[in-house]
Structure 1
Amino acid sequence: MDQIEFFDIPSPCKRVCETDKQGYCITCYRSRDERFKWLTLSDSQKQDVLRLCKQRAARRRYLLSQQPQPQLDPLTSQFDLNF
């Protein structure tokens, strides 16, 4: 049985529509189809999309944390060369 929602579920849109290689928005993590159909989705479907977005965001954070970090040159990084 679905829980009754008292408030409309707001869109997770951050107004920065740019997609990654997989086709997901880089700020809200929705697919193109999920973004275009948002207004026609039921509250249950919106909850599912939000759950998927959280999973995608967590996966992106994990993948970014696994990338090697650039090493700074200790001789030049201690000086501010911007005059």
Structure 2
Amino acid sequence: MSRAEGRVRSPCVSVCALDENDVCVGCQRTGDEILHWTSMTDDQRREVLKKVAVREQRVAL
């Protein structure tokens, strides 16, 4: 397995638009999280994905 294959994948769904809170309406990442995703470690990416899950729950309410 190559190094790239083992990485935590981006939650991007190709619906790219930031709302008034700087959160993408497609993947629920902030602008900063999107900007720095490629330089994050897998542990950092997992932390972002936890935050994304919380944001998705708020949107679903």
The amino acid across from 2:15 in the alignment is V
Partner of 1:9: 8
**Number of positions where the alignment pairs a residue of Structure 1 with one of Structure 2:** 57
TM-score scaled to structure 1, two decimals?
A: 0.65
- Max Rg structure: 1
Higher RCO (C-alpha 8 Å, min separation 6): 2
Structure 1 regions of 5+ residues with no counterpart? 1-5, 63-83
2:33 equivalent to 1:34: yes
Q: Share of identical aligned residues, percent?
A: 32
Runs of 4 or more off by more than 3 Å in structure 1? none
Structure 2 counterpart SS, 1:11: coil
TM-score scaled to structure 2, two decimals?
A: 0.87
Structure 2 regions of 5+ residues with no counterpart? none
1:21 Cα offset (Å): 1.4
